[in-house]
């Protein structure tokens, strides 16, 4: 069958959607890519003062979801951390391949945050990363650095910043190996909900497409995503919320660690795969969700 795959045009998005399309093709399906530019892509490439007041919830996925709803695409492939807390009616995450490393990495300072000089400029567009970096190193200057991974690394190499905080998964999927990169411990930088997970989104009632994507679903990664997204939804936010959550699976058991800048509180809870969403919601309440 034909399964049209909606994707952003960035190198990372194409690497992720291309992997899904190749897996579908290997299973005997025709899987062409529908490449789209999102509001998030336009914002990322614009100047710092562009689009004042822009609601950043879902800005990297909206156009892909519109293609699903109007029938131009059958699935959309996302970095799960880009998904807003609530999906449009009629859409669902129908599969999640195995999770890549969910960690954040500091690029430009092999000795980690402690090795940065006083007043160093650390680049990120993430409120979550900015808050956690400042908690450890209040003396550094966190500056907004937009663009795709290559663009941001180019700004680092040009000396515009002293270090960058990036997702380990993105670097790995792009095949980028930087000797000046170091993983940030979870105690220092808890990742975004869904970080390291590729989410395959489709129409909730499309049984054929669900069946075509089912072989690529990793039940453990999917359960962790349900828990982490429930945490995010209970907080009422998406990628703009300064909050982190990481769920780990061991058989039928789950453990979630979570943090929210709003209260500065942490949660560390155990639960089961069957109750993943309830566990995530409970973690949000533990950190003080209103």
82 is catalytic: yes
Which ranges of the chain would DSSP assign to H, the alpha helix?
A: 11-26, 39-45, 62-69, 127-136, 149-157, 168-173, 207-213, 219-235, 276-286
Cα 16 off chain centre by: 12
Burial of 5 (0-12, 13-18, 19+ CB in 10 A): buried
The 3-state secondary structure of 148-185 reads: CHHHHHHHHHCCCCCEEEEEHHHHHHCCCCCCCEEECC
Structure tokens at 170: 């993105």
3-class state of residue 226 by DSSP: helix
Exactly one of 41, 74, 82, 206 is catalytic; which is it?
Answer: 82
- List active site positions: 82
């Amino acid at each position: 069958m034909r399964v049209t795959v909606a994707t952003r045009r960035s190198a990372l998005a194409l690497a992720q959607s291309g992997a899904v399309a190749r897996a579908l093709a290997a299973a005997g399906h025709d899987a062409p890519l529908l490449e789209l530019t999102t509001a998030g892509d336009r914002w990322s490439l614009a100047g710092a003062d562009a689009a004042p007041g822009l609601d950043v919830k879902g800005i990297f996925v909206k156009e892909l979801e519109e293609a699903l709803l109007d029938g131009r695409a059958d699935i959309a492939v996302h970095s799960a951390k880009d998904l807003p807390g609530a999906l449009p009616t009629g859409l669902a995450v129908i599969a999640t391949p195995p999770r890549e490393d969910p960690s954040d990495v500091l690029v430009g300072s092999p000795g980690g945050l402690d090795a940065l000089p006083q007043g160093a400029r650390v680049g990120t567009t993430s409120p979550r990363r900015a808050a956690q970096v400042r908690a450890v190193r209040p003396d550094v200057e966190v500056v907004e650095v937009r663009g795709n991974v290559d663009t941001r690394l180019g700004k680092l190499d040009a000396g515009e910043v002293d270090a960058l905080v990036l997702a380990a998964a993105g670097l790995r999927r792009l095949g980028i190996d930087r000797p000046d990169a170091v993983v940030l411990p979870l105690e220092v930088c808890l990742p975004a909900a869904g970080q390291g997970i590729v989410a395959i989104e489709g129409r909730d009632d499309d049984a054929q497409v669900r069946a075509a994507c089912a072989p690529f679903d990793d039940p453990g990664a999917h359960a962790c995503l349900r828990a982490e997204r429930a945490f995010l939804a209970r907080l009422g936010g998406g990628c703009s919320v300064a909050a982190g959550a990481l769920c780990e699976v061991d058989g039928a058991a789950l453990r979630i660690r979570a943090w929210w800048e709003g209260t500065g509180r942490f949660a560390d809870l155990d639960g089961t795969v069957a109750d993943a969403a309830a566990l995530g919601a409970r973690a949000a309440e533990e950190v003080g969700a209103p």
